[in-house]
A and B are shown apart, each in its own frame.
Chain A
Amino acid sequence: MNNFTLGRYLPMDSPIHKMDPRAKIGAMLIALIAIFFPAGWIGYAVIFAVVACVIILSKLSWGFIWKAMKPMMFMLFFLLVINILVVKTGDEWLTLGSFTIYSNAVIQTLYIAVRLLLMIMITTCLTATTKPLDMTLGIEDLLKPFQKIGVPSHEIAMLISIALRFIPDLIDETERIMKAQESRGVDMKEGKLSERVMAILSLIVPLFVSAFQRAEDLANAMEARGYAPGEPRTRYKVLKMERRDYILLLGAVLLLACMIWLAYFR
């Protein structure tokens, strides 16, 4: 269970790791928007080159990036099948009896595939180089302007950091309960449908009970230390934008401008 890569932080010493989370989140959002301009294959090549530079700078291995993409492959295959069935424009490529595969079906799928893969690369760059806690601090700061229209930015950040904090615990707990039920003769992997429903039930119910128990304990512990949401709070770690952070943001804006130019003014 400990081998999923998507969204995991990799502690390393690189300029990207040291950057301000706000700059990184901002740059990621701008880059994600840039992907959605119809800038063609040249545009995607440019984005890929920029993202590749960031990956090299952040000292992440390509194997790690590849592992993060793998879970998407199934989805992309599914998309290809649907597109082949639905899209009926472009040249006729292959005819099997009364069924024809059109070129646009494949090309459209490729476009979506490239976009998705780029998106995963960019988000992986962010999550692998930013500590979850720094990330939530960044999100809190970025949401601050929206506080005026009633967005509870601090509460949202606290919610996210608590959720992240409990993921490893819940994975451990799941493994433990699974083993305990397996000791009672539950077969988690095979069996008739009714047996499998029972097996899942015997896992989910105790997991929920203990998750609620943990939530209550944590709430009490926080209240016992005087936590009150919405009250003004100081921070142990104060974020500070430096020159490299502005350079990253500038780069992202330039990338966006480049995509707009490629899409509409060429």
Chain B
Amino acid sequence: MPITFEHVSHTYSEGTPYQYAALKDVNLDIQEGKITAVIGQTGSGKSTLVQHLNALLLPDEGEIHILDRVIKAGEKPKKLKSLRGDVGLVFQFPEYQLFEETVLKDVAFGPKNFGCSEEEAEEKARKALKLVDLPEDCYLKSPLELSGGQKRRTAIAGILAMDPKVLVLDEPTAGLDPAGTKAMMSLFYELNQKYGKTVLMVTHDMENVFAYCDDVAVVADGSILVHTNAQDFFRDSKLCRSMNILPPALIRMRDMLNEKGFDIPADVQDVDVLADYIAKQVKSHE
């Protein structure tokens, strides 16, 4: 069951001088079981878009179909709580939402809100913490004692403990070091591959999109500009550059070589294949 947006519009502060249309007639089909990257410039409406997925924001026009539920404009959504349990939304800098005395309790907070008993919640929390690879001696520490990266893991575990079917992430790797970024991205990849979770991710890092994502949706000025699979997206780097987004290193390399007279096809998106092409063309040149 895909997630679909049909003619969705959202306007902030309607009827005041601060009125601002963040989404304008958005149509979008997100495939289940895939990792979809949502990219776009700051203020393009990405965050507004993802907050519609668990009904934190409601559409002013249009409707959204998600996991056999329908959110319609002008209607109070039913079964709101179960929707929020099924669609886990991780905000930007989620470490700011930690509040419990211990890491374990904080992660168990979500499941408890969805009706789990104390023991069940703790079990789920331990499982989620193991998944994010937090060392066990941190479990009984205060979240405030942890390092930045560990806090981020704890906060993400707090959402994973609810065992959502769809995972929505708003810039999950912002402010992490390269090792932390890699660990985080492999975690989301594993969740998708091993547990079949649908992942939707707002990001500015094209390397992550290139390495891990199946599909790419480009948001510009409140509308979906392009929605395609990642391979097609990276055939041409013009779109990236037009949005001031740096394309992945491999694509930049490919483009630069082609500018200098090499002839490397656009569907080359693998280091080894690229190396082969370069070797072949250098050899034939000699």
Which of A143-151, A175-183, A221-229, A251-259 contacts the other chain?
Answer: A175-183
A128 and B94 alpha carbons, distance in the complex (Å):
36
Contact A206 B99 (CB under 8 A): yes
A201 within 8 A of B: yes
B84 A180 Cβ-Cβ under 8 A: no
Q: Select one of B51, B81, B144, B159 contacting A179, CB under 8 A.
A: B51
Total inter-chain residue pairs, C-beta < 8 Å? 58
Interface residues of A in 199-225 (CB under 8 A from B): 201-202, 205-206, 209-210
Known: A177-B96, A179-B51, A206-B96. A184 touches B162 (CB 8 A): yes
Interface residue? A139 (CB, 8 A): no
Q: Give CA–CA (A183, B94) in the complex, Å.
A: 11
Give the chain A neighbours of B13 by CB distance below 8 A. Answer: 2
* CB–CB A2/B18 < 8 A: yes
By beta carbon, the residue of chain A nearest B144 is A209
A187 on interface, CB distance cutoff 8 Å = yes
Nearest chain B residue, comparing its CB with the CB of A179: B56
B162-A202 in contact (CB<8A): no
Query: Taking the nearest CB of chain A, how far is it from the CB of B181, in angstroms?
Result: 21
| A120 lies within 8 A of chain B by Cβ | no
Q: Roughly how many angstroms separate A101 CA and B40 CA in the complex, as a whole number?
A: 66
Q: B residues within 8 A CB of A210? A: 96
Residue in B closest to A204 when the chains form the complex, CB atoms: B99
Within 165-204 of B, Cβ neighbours of A (below 8 Å) are at none
B84 touches A182 (CB 8 A): yes
The 8 A CB mask of B85-98 against A (1 = contact, 0 = none) is: 10011110010111
Residue numbers in B under 8 Å from A2 (CB-CB) = 13, 16, 18
Q: Let me know if A186 is at the binding interface, CB within 8 A.
A: yes
Evaluate whether A185 and B97 lie within 8 angstroms (CB atoms) in the complex, with A180-B91, A209-B144 already known.
no
Given contacts A2-B13, A183-B56, contact A201 B97 (CB under 8 A): no
A177 in contact with B97 (CB, 8 Å): yes
Q: Which residues of A contact B222 (CB under 8 A)?
A: none
CB closest chain-B residue, reference A202: B99
> What total of chain B residues lie within 8 Å of the partner, measured CB to CB?
26
The answer, yes or no, to whether B210 is at the interface (CB within 8 Å) is no
* In the complex, residue of chain B having the shortest beta-carbon distance to the beta carbon of A208: B99
SS class, residues of chain A in contact with chain B: helix
- CB pair A176–B96 under 8 Å, yes or no, is yes
Q: Does B262 contact A (CB under 8 A)?
A: no
Question: Closest approach, in angstroms, between the C-beta of B34 and any C-beta of chain A?
Answer: 22
Do A176 and B85 touch across chains, with their CB atoms under 8 A apart?
no
Inside 8 A of A183's CB, which chain B residues have their CB?
Answer: 54, 56, 84, 88-91, 159
For residue B102, give the distance in angstroms from its CB to the closest CB of chain A. 13
A181–B267 alpha-carbon span in the complex (Å): 43
A184's partner among B16, B18, B96, B159 (CB-CB below 8 A) is: B159
Tell me if B113 is interfacial: C-beta within 8 Å of chain A: yes
List residues of chain B with CB within 8 A of the CB of A201. 99
B162 near A205: Cβ-Cβ < 8 Å: no
Residue count of chain A within 8 Å CB distance of chain B: 20
Asked if B59 is at the interface of the complex by the 8 Å CB criterion, the answer is no
Q: Is A180 touching B113 in the complex (CB atoms < 8 A)?
A: no
Q: How far is the CA of A205 from the CA of B101 in the complex (A)?
A: 10
Using Cβ atoms and an 8 Å threshold, which residues of chain A touch B110? Answer: 184-185
Contacts of A209 in B (CB 8 A): 96, 99, 144
Query: B193: shortest Cβ distance to chain A, in Å?
Result: 24
Which A residues lie within 8 Å of B94 (CB)? 180
Q: Report if B158 contacts A (CB, 8 A).
A: yes
* Given A177-B97, A179-B91, A202-B99: A184 touches B109 (CB 8 Å cut-off): yes
Query: Among the listed B16, B51, B99, B113, which residue makes an inter-chain contact with A205, where contact means beta carbons less than 8 Å apart?
Result: B99
Q: Flag if B97 contacts A206 (CB, 8 Å).
A: yes
Within 8 A of A (CB), among B57-111: 81, 84-85, 88-91, 94, 96-99, 109-110
Residue of A nearest to B115 (CB): A185
Nearest neighbor of A2 in chain B, beta-carbon distance: B13
Mark each residue of chain B from 116 to 135: 1 if its CB lies under 8 Å from any CB of chain A, else 0: 00000000000000000000
Quick one: which of B85, B96, B98 contacts A185, CB cutoff 8 A?
A: B85
B-chain residues with CB within 8 Å of residue A3 when the two chains form the complex: 16
- Which of B56, B94, B99, B109 has the most chain A CB atoms inside 10 A of its CB? B99
Residues of B within 8 A of A181 (CB): 97
A sample of 16 cross-chain residue pairs with beta-carbon separation below 8 angstroms, ordered by A number, consists of A2-B13, A3-B16, A176-B91, A177-B96, A182-B56, A183-B54, A183-B56, A183-B88, A184-B84, A184-B109, A185-B81, A185-B84, A185-B113, A206-B98, A209-B96, A209-B144
Top 8 A-B pairs, shortest CB-CB distance: A185-B113, A205-B99, A180-B97, A183-B89, A184-B110, A180-B91, A185-B114, A179-B56
Task: Given A180-B94, A206-B99, output 17 extra A-B contacts at Cβ < 8 Å.
Answer: A2-B13, A2-B16, A176-B96, A179-B51, A182-B56, A183-B84, A184-B84, A184-B110, A184-B162, A185-B81, A185-B84, A185-B85, A185-B110, A185-B113, A202-B109, A206-B96, A209-B99
